[in-house]
């Protein structure tokens, strides 16, 4: 047991050291692109493996560790606390970064000679190391330092391809939003310090019972906004659709898959682990925010035809689903129904793991397609399944997983989230039940709309005929990219097949938190079966998988044998006798037009026509006709733009203090000195 | 709503009976004999795709009349489909005008085997009243292989139905049954 | 021995009977049009002929197009074997969960929409678009209407829901009826009947389900149409057995089984009659009126849930 603790601690710090080596090595070799690429990514792979070993040791053998060392600065101590919850997040981070780095070895080749590959390796390794430290930090000030390291390195990664203006603009929005979030986080930590007298998380946890309810609610609000900005909760999400597409693809996979989950980690750490006696309205706020994020995320995703922006909006949707599970857990905690709270938390954690897996897979697939076709616009794709068959297959696995289709992992975590919401409906009183019923409706619609969106993405990208020259000349990508994607696809299937085992492990993670120490579980799960203890529901994913595969195979062979003598002839697509051009296929914009029209109240689509005539006076024959379809971004126009104007106006007023006249400045100094003297006396 | 239902139930069934179609004699099917196997295949269920290669719509109206409550071709298992991929039989009307030539060829190639092609009406058989014009190709058999032709300008639904049933040998079978009994 | 026989009947009942119900609807609609119409068993002849025909496949099609019919048909068989049909001795069946059934249906719809887009014809493309729009909006009503029953039964296992639905008091009948109407709307949407879709139309601009299978021929077309008929019978049996659960037997006596089968057929026939009368009495709705109808379905089931708990 102690040997395990030592080895998990050792491998954790070994991984941090390996990431540091990767960062330094990339910088050292920055003149040689290939060496920098290999050095940065190989050390990242090694670091991820060490992180995996460390987290698995903690998770399976219960060898959590705490270690800290003081520093010369007052109030700051570098203390780490890796308990099972942190270990789970370290596991997720390491898993995704392992395969993203594997993918990157082949992907970064596209940046040779154009951008500084050494800088990429440096910021990439710093970013992953920062994330690992964020989920294991035990001291508020140290947490803020590594949080800033993570945000800054991700900022530099977002603006990495700085020759495109939109990437730099997206980076600035990300920079401002993440620092606004950090400001809120700092305020909440300061309030916690004022209430409990310490910045150390473990000490805060012990003294939290003395906190006044007003301060507690204020901490909740500030932490919600601060960490919600990082997590991409609506309405704090506006940086996400710009920043995630701008970064290089393996970084987007990491940002979308794991970085936003650090916000979720801190939600769990502060609201479930540290706080006690949470009021019910906290959970209701989070459930509402989750439902709104899920629905709006998927609706905005449907309006996109830039493949990476679409995937970024889906991250917002999935964060919404995670928050549904988390919010229901908080509500059950407030009502002292701890087994159900554990269930909600298991659902949230499982969806975190699943989303990291399939979102990274989807981003890597999108990156493969983009690297071959050199455009992010889905309208220029088409027919890629014949040219990139393996990428298409892995992308299909990811699309099926995110649409929550059996037998992949997304189905089980959405099933579990549904069950925790159902549990809420049947056990509570009417006001809370109303929130849960609407949440069930939101989740049901979100699942259907996500499936619609991924039919659009997969169909427009891979099926039918190529719509542009680049798509016609695309080819299959290199082995390292395919290996990264294949591994994640296999993981999606495995997490789905063994969801019972994973649920059991997650239940242990949740029960390791002190607040759940003596609660019995609401369910039993093993490798083949997941069952609720009061027989409300049970599901067995291996059975679904086995029956799907066996019945499909049986149908196929039966039909094949019985119809052996029928011939199959190749012909043209039936087109009513006309010539089919690629322009006659459905486009991504056209596919979602119906849904946009149905939801036009929320999305507010606009259409603008611009007609150019042959003769400006006799406007009869048109020369060119342009249609511009736009979706109004509600948040920018109703919330952020007015806020921006308000801040600008206030700045105008405040500017007047800086008169420029040195006599006025001396007057200010004099007044303040007088005031201070009076205060002291 | 109730007036609607009462109208349905008060109007009785008015389907013309097979025997009163007077199909038995005088129905000469012009074309080759089709395989017994194909007859057996299509006797229970026949899917027809109607192709209009530029006609004056008289044949289409007669074809449409086949599905009305009086002739009701569905009771023999024959139905019209929306795509040549689903079809067993192509009923081509109209003298093939130049612009429809390629469409007709594509429709023929889109139909899976085994298939039967019928030229309905004099226009489709050899050009009809449009024969020799610069805009038409004088008949379907100049473009795709035709198995049967139904004469008439346009042929009445009775004629079309009798020829269809003869092609399917249903009349023969029913006649044989009635002769036996 | 007996249970093996019951298992076999449960698995093959839906695929064997579904063409019959498709034929019955056609016959009733023909009766309303004062026609004779095709025989009730006509779909069997259609499928037999289609399995004997050759196929033409577009050269733009990929393996998604070629394998989708098998996957879709297999999914309908699995669901058909998991829903309560005539016997209730399968309550240990782990596949009979409400959400599993709904998401398996979503799996079949997913592959159907992909197959429609695969050939690159404009018909298949916009049919997939419409189908996914309708499927996305139907899921809310479908899950919520069955959820109302699940909450009353304290279980999401379909067989347990049937058990407790048969022992509900008279006061809980109005919410069950509301949930039934919500389910009916969702059923009409998922199985492509009026007012959502006309299964007998030839106008591609008005097709939803038919347009996705325009490109199929031969055995694959037979599998797709058979799968659509299976889906219709599955929804009929869900509607008949979930909301009016009298008639399912728990014993394995042959007389009990035969009675249960007869009652099941009777209930399914009544629902079929209702759908056929609906199809003959109204016109298909304009596409953008359909989301309102689906929202009505969701609201009805929310009211039912609130009344039940």
The model's pLDDT over B41-65, given as tens digits with 9 standing for 90+, comes to: 887 889 999 999 988 899 999 999 9
Q: Which helix (H) or strand (E) holds A622?
A: strand A622-631
Interatomic CA distance for residues C96 and C189, integer angstroms: 22
Beta-carbon contacts of C188 under 8 Å, excluding residues fewer than 6 positions away, are: C194, C195, C196, C275, C278
Parent domain of C221 = 2-308
Least confidently predicted of A136-145, A406-415, A655-664, C299-308: A655-664
Residue A157 is predicted with a pLDDT of 94
Q: Is A318 on the interface with C (CB under 8 A)?
A: no
- C-proximal residues of A, 177-196, CB under 8 Å: none
Q: Average the pLDDT over C71-94 and give the result.
A: 85
Q: Which two tokens stand for residue A68?
A: 């800290």
Q: Per the structure, how many domains does chain A have? A: 3
Interatomic CA distance for residues A503 and B68, integer angstroms: 61
Q: How many CB atoms lie within 10 A of CB B3?
A: 7
- Whether A127 is in a domain gets the answer no
Residue A73 is predicted with a pLDDT of 75
Q: Per the structure, how many domains does chain C have? A: 1
Residues in chain C: 309
Is the pLDDT assigned to residue A500 strictly greater than 80? Answer: yes
A518 shares its domain with A442: yes
Interatomic CA distance for residues C20 and A221, integer angstroms: 61
Q: Could you tell me which residues are beta bridge partners of residue A153?
A: none
A619 shares its domain with A640: no
Which of A535, A551, A573 finishes a domain?
Answer: A535
Is the pLDDT assigned to residue B181 strictly greater than 60? Answer: no
| Interchain CB distance below 8 Å, B8 and C37 | no
ipTM of the complex: 0.94
| Interchain CB distance below 8 Å, B109 and A572 | yes
Better-predicted residue by pLDDT, A357 or A584: A357
Q: Could you tell me which residues are beta bridge partners of residue A82?
A: A65
- Whether A44 is in a domain gets the answer no
Please, what are the domains in chain B?
Answer: 29-180 (3.40.50.12280)
Residue A568 is predicted with a pLDDT of 87
**What are the tens digits of pLDDT across the range A619-646?**
888 888 898 888 887 887 888 888 889 9
Is the pLDDT assigned to residue A543 strictly greater than 90? Answer: no
Is the pLDDT assigned to residue C299 strictly greater than 90? Answer: yes
CA distance C154 to chain A (A): 6
Q: Which helix (H) or strand (E) holds A418?
A: helix A409-427
Is the pLDDT assigned to residue A141 strictly greater than 70? Answer: yes
CA distance B50 to chain A (A): 12
Q: Which of B47, B72, B77 is opposite residue C35, by nearest beta carbon?
A: B72
CA distance readout (Å), A390 to A252, A385, A409, A478, A489: 21, 8, 20, 11, 11
Q: Are B63 and B50 in contact (CB under 8 A)?
A: yes
- Determine the residue of chain C that is closest to B39 in CA distance: C49
Residue A156 is predicted with a pLDDT of 94
- Whether A432 is in a domain gets the answer yes
| Interchain CB distance below 8 Å, B106 and A575 | yes
The band of A189, judged by pLDDT with boundaries at 50, 70 and 90, is very high
Is the pLDDT assigned to residue A186 strictly greater than 80? Answer: yes
CA atoms within 13 Å, Cβ hemisphere of A114? 9
Q: What are the percentages of helix, strand and coil residues in chain A, rounded to 5?
A: 75, 5, 20
Is the pLDDT assigned to residue A573 strictly greater than 80? Answer: yes
pTM: 0.93
Is the pLDDT assigned to residue A45 strictly greater than 90? Answer: yes
Q: Average the pLDDT over A318-322 and give the result.
A: 95
Q: Are C140 and C293 in contact (CB under 8 A)?
A: no
A492 shares its domain with A599: no
Q: Average the pLDDT over C241-263 and give the result.
A: 84
Q: Average the pLDDT over A314-320 and give the result.
A: 95
What's chain C's average pLDDT?
89
Beta-carbon contacts of A327 under 8 Å, excluding residues fewer than 6 positions away, are: A283, A284, A285, A286, A287, A288, A289, A290, A344
Is the pLDDT assigned to residue A476 strictly greater than 90? Answer: no
| Lookup result for tokens 């299509």 | B42
A367 shares its domain with A515: yes
Least confidently predicted of A143-147, A369-373, B9-13: B9-13
Residue A6 is predicted with a pLDDT of 73
Kindly state the percentage of chain A with pLDDT values over 90.
53
Residue A5 is predicted with a pLDDT of 66
CA distance A575 to chain C (A): 6
Interatomic CA distance for residues C87 and C92, integer angstroms: 13
What's chain A's average pLDDT?
89
A606 shares its domain with A516: no
The single-letter DSSP state of residue A382 is -
Residue A405 is predicted with a pLDDT of 93
Is the pLDDT assigned to residue A123 strictly greater than 90? Answer: yes
Q: Which two tokens stand for residue A330?
A: 């908080």
Q: Average the pLDDT over B66-86 and give the result.
A: 89
A651 shares its domain with A626: no
- Whether A447 is in a domain gets the answer yes
**What are the tens digits of pLDDT across the range A68-81?**
777 777 777 888 88
3-class DSSP assignment, residue B93? strand
Q: Is C221 on the interface with B (CB under 8 A)?
A: yes
Across A354-363, A381-390, C52-61, the highest mean pLDDT is recorded for A354-363
- Whether A89 is in a domain gets the answer no
Is the pLDDT assigned to residue C309 strictly greater than 90? Answer: no
Least confidently predicted of A378-387, C111-120, C201-210: C201-210
Q: Average the pLDDT over A541-550 and give the result.
A: 90
A388 shares its domain with A504: yes
Q: Which of B102, B112, B113 is opposite residue A577, by nearest beta carbon?
A: B102
Q: Is C59 on the interface with B (CB under 8 A)?
A: no
Residues B56, B59, B62, B67: is their CA dihedral positive or negative?
A: negative
Residues A637, A642, A644, A645: is their CA dihedral positive or negative?
A: positive
Residue B177 is predicted with a pLDDT of 65
Least confidently predicted of A50-54, A655-659, A676-680: A655-659
**What are the tens digits of pLDDT across the range A587-625?**
888 899 999 999 988 888 888 999 889 888 888 888 888
| Interchain CB distance below 8 Å, A572 and B104 | no
Q: Is A570 on the interface with B (CB under 8 A)?
A: no
- B-proximal residues of C, 16-55, CB under 8 Å: 30, 32-39, 42, 45-46, 48-49, 52-55
Is the pLDDT assigned to residue A459 strictly greater than 90? Answer: yes
Parent domain of A670 = 635-680
A314 shares its domain with A433: yes
**What are the tens digits of pLDDT across the range C158-209?**
888 888 877 777 777 888 899 999 999 999 999 999 899 988 888 888 888 9
A489 shares its domain with A357: yes
- Residue whose C-alpha is closest to residue A306's, from A376, A380, A247: A376
The band of B25, judged by pLDDT with boundaries at 50, 70 and 90, is low
SS (H, E, C) chain C: CHHHHHHHHHHHHHHHHHHHHHHHHHHHHHHHCCCCCCCCCHHHHHHHHHHCCCEEEECCCCHHHHHHHHHHHHHHHHHHHHCCCCECCCCCCCCCEHHHHHHHHHHHHHHHHHHHHHCCCHHHHHHHHHHHHHHHHHHHHHHHHHHHHHHHHCCCEHHHHHHHHCCCCHHHHHHHHHHHHHHHHHHHHHCCCCCCCCCCCCCHHHCCHHHHCCCCCHHHHHHHHHHHHHHHHHHHHHHHHHHCCCCCECCCCHHHHHHHHHHHHHHHHHHHHHHHHHHHHCCCCCHHHHHHHHHHHHHHHHHHHHHHC
Subunits with 3+ C-beta pairs closer than 8 A to A: B, C
Kindly state the percentage of chain A with pLDDT values over 70.
99
Interatomic CA distance for residues C105 and B155, integer angstroms: 48
| Interchain CB distance below 8 Å, A548 and C302 | no
- Residue whose C-alpha is closest to residue B53's, from B109, B110, B89, B91: B91
CA distance readout (Å), B118 to A571, B124, B125, C278: 22, 9, 9, 37
Q: Are C148 and C263 in contact (CB under 8 A)?
A: no
Q: Which of B11, B12, B110 is opposite residue C56, by nearest beta carbon?
A: B110
- Whether A598 is in a domain gets the answer yes
Is the pLDDT assigned to residue B33 strictly greater than 90? Answer: no
Q: Could you tell me which residues are beta bridge partners of residue B150?
A: B120
Could you tell me whether strands A77-82 and A65-70 are parallel, antiparallel, or unpaired per DSSP bridges? antiparallel
Residue C91 is predicted with a pLDDT of 63
Residue A60 is predicted with a pLDDT of 84
Is the pLDDT assigned to residue A429 strictly greater than 90? Answer: no
| Interchain CB distance below 8 Å, A400 and C157 | no
- Whether A676 is in a domain gets the answer yes
A512 shares its domain with A587: no
Residue A264 is predicted with a pLDDT of 94
The band of A530, judged by pLDDT with boundaries at 50, 70 and 90, is confident
Residues of chain B with a CB closer than 8 angstroms to some CB in chain C:
1, 4-5, 8, 11-15, 41-42, 44-45, 47, 68-69, 72, 74-75, 77, 79-83, 85-86, 88, 109-114
- C-alpha dihedral (A191, A192, A198, A202), degrees to nearest 10: -160
A432 shares its domain with A384: yes
Residue B179 is predicted with a pLDDT of 66
Subunits with 3+ C-beta pairs closer than 8 A to B: A, C
Is the pLDDT assigned to residue B176 strictly greater than 70? Answer: no
Mutation for C interface: B66, B69, B86, B87, most C CBs within 10 A: B86
Residue A564 is predicted with a pLDDT of 85
């Amino acid at each position: 047991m102690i040997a395990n603790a030592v080895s998990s601690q050792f491998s954790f710090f070994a991984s941090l050291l390996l990431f540091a080596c990767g960062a330094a090595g990339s910088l050292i070799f920055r003149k040689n692109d290939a060496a920098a690429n290999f050095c940065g990514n190989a050390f990242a792979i090694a670091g991820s493996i060490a992180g995996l070993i460390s987290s698995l040791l903690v998770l399976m053998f219960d060898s959590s560790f705490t270690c800290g060392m003081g520093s010369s600065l007052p109030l700051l101590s570098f203390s780490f606390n890796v308990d099972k919850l942190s270990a789970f997040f370290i596991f997720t981070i390491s898993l995704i970064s392992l395969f993203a780095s594997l993918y990157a070895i082949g992907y970064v080749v596209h940046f040779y000679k154009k951008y500084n590959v050494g800088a990429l390796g440096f910021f990439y390794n710093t970013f992953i190391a920062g994330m690992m430290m964020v989920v294991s930090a035990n001291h508020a000030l140290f947490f803020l330092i590594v949080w800033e390291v993570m945000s800054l390195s991700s900022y530099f990664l977002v603006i990495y391809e700085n020759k495109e203006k939109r990437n730099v603009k997206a980076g600035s929005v990300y920079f401002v939003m993440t620092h606004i979030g950090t400001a809120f986080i700092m305020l909440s930590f300061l309030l916690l310090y004022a209430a409990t007298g310490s910045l150390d998380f473990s000490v805060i946890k012990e003294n939290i019972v003395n906190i006044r309810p007003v301060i507690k609610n204020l901490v909740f609000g500030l932490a919600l906004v601060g960490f919600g900005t990082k997590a991409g909760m609506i309405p704090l999400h506006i940086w996400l659709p710009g920043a995630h597409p701008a970064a290089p693809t393996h970084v987007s996979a990491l940002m979308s898959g794991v970085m936003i989950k650090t916000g979720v980690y801190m939600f769990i750490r502060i609201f479930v682990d540290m706080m006690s006696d949470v009021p019910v309205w906290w959970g209701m706020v989070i459930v509402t925010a989750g439902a709104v994020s899920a629905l709006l995320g998927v609706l905005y995703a449907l309006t996109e035809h830039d493949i990476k922006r679409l995937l970024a909006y889906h991250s917002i949707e999935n964060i919404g689903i995670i928050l549904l599970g988390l919010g229901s857990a908080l509500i059950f905690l407030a009502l002292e129904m701890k087994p159900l709270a554990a269930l909600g938390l298991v659902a949230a954690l499982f969806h975190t793991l699943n989303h990291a897996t399939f979102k990274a897979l989807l981003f890597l697939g999108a990156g493969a397609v983009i690297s071959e076709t050199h455009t992010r616009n889905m309208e220029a794709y088409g027919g890629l399944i014949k040219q990139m068959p393996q990428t298409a297959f892995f992308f299909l696995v990811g699309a099926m997983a995110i649409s929550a289709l059996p037998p992949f992992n997304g189905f089980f975590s959405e099933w579990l989230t549904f069950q925790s919401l159902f549990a809420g409906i049947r056990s509570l009183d009417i006001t809370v039940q109303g929130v849960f019923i609407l949440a069930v409706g939101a989740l049901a619609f979100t699942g259907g709309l996500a499936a619609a969106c991924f039919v659009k993405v997969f169909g427009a990208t891979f099926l039918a005929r190529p719509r542009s020259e680049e798509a016609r000349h695309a080819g299959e990508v290199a082995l390292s990219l395919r290996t990264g994607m294949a591994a994640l696809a296999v993981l999606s299937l495995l997490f789905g097949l063994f969801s019972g085992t994973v649920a059991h492990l997650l239940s242990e993670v949740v029960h390791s938190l002190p607040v759940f120490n003596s609660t019995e579980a609401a369910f039993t799960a093993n490798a083949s079966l997941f069952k609720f203890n009061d027989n409300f529901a049970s599901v067995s994913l291996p059975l679904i998988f086995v029956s799907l595969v066996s019945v499909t195979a049986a149908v196929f062979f039966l039909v094949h044998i019985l119809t052996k003598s029928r011939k199959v002839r190749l012909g043209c697509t039936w087109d009513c006798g006309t010539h089919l051009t690629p322009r006659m296929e459905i486009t991504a914009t056209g596919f979602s037009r119906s849904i946009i029209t149905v939801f036009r109240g929320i999305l507010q689509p606009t259409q603008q026509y611009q007609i150019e005539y042959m003769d400006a006076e006799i406007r009869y024959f048109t020369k060119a006709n342009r249609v511009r379809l736009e979706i109004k971004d509600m948040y920018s126009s109703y919330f952020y733009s007015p806020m921006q104007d308000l801040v600008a106006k206030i700045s105008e007023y405040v500017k007047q203090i800086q008169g420029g006249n040195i006599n006025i400045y001396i007057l200010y100094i004099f007044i303040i000195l007088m005031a201070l003297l009076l205060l002291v006396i | 709503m109730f007036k609607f239902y009462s109208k349905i139930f008060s109007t009785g069934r008015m389907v013309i009976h097979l025997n009163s179609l007077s199909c038995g004699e005088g129905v000469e099917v012009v074309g080759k004999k089709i395989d017994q196997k194909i007859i057996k295949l299509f006797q229970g269920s026949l899917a027809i795709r109607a192709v209009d290669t530029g006609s004056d719509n008289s044949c289409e109206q007669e074809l449409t009349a086949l599905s009305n409550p009086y002739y009701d071709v569905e009771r023999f298992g024959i139905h019209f489909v929306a795509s040549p991929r689903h079809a067993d039989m192509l009923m081509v009307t109209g003298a093939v005008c130049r612009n429809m030539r390629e469409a007709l060829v594509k429709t023929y190639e889109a139909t899976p085997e085994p298939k039967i092609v019928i030229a309905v009406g004099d226009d489709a058989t050899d050009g009809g009243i449009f024969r020799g014009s610069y805009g038409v190709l004088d008949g379907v058999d100049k473009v795709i292989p035709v198995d049967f032709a139904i004469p008439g300008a346009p042929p009445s639904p009775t004629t079309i139905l009798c020829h269809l049933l003869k092609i399917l040998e249903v009349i023969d079978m029913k006649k044989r049954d009635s002769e036996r009994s | 021995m007996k249970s093996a026989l019951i298992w076999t009947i449960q698995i093959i009942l839906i695929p064997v009977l579904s063409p019959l119900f498709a034929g019955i609807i056609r016959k009733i609609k023909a009766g309303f049009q004062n026609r004779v119409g095709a025989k009730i068993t006509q779909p069997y002849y259609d499928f037999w002929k289609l399995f004997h025909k050759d196929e033409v496949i577009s050269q733009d099609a990929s393996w998604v197009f070629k394998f989708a019919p098998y996957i879709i048909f297999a999914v309908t068989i699995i669901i058909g074997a998991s829903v309560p049909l005539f016997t209730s001795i399968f309550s240990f069946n782990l596949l009979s969960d409400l959400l599993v059934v709904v998401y398996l249906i979503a799996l079949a719809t997913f592959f159907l929409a992909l197959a429609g887009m695969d050939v690159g014809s404009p018909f298949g493309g916009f049919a997939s678009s419409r189908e996914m729009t309708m499927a996305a909006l139907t899921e809310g009503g479908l899950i919520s209407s069955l959820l109302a029953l699940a909450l009353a039964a304290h279980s999401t296992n379909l067989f347990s829901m049937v058990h407790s639905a048969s022992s509900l008091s008279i006061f809980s009948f109005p919410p069950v009826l509301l949930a039934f109407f919500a389910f009916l709307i969702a059923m009409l949407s998922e199985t492509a009947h009026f007012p959502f879709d006309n299964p007998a139309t030839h106008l591609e601009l008005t097709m939803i389900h038919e347009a996705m299978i325009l490109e199929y021929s031969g055995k694959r077309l037979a599998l797709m149409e058979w799968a659509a008929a299976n889906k219709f019978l599955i929804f009929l049996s869900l509607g008949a057995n979930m909301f009016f659960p009298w008639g399912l037997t728990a014993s394995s006596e042959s007389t009990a089984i035969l009675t249960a089968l007869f009652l099941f057929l009777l209930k399914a026939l009544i629902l079929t009659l209702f759908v056929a009368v609906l199809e003959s009495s109204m016109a298909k709705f304009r596409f953008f009126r359909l989301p309102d109808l689906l929202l009505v379905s969701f609201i009805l089931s929310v009211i039912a849930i609130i009344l039940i708990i």
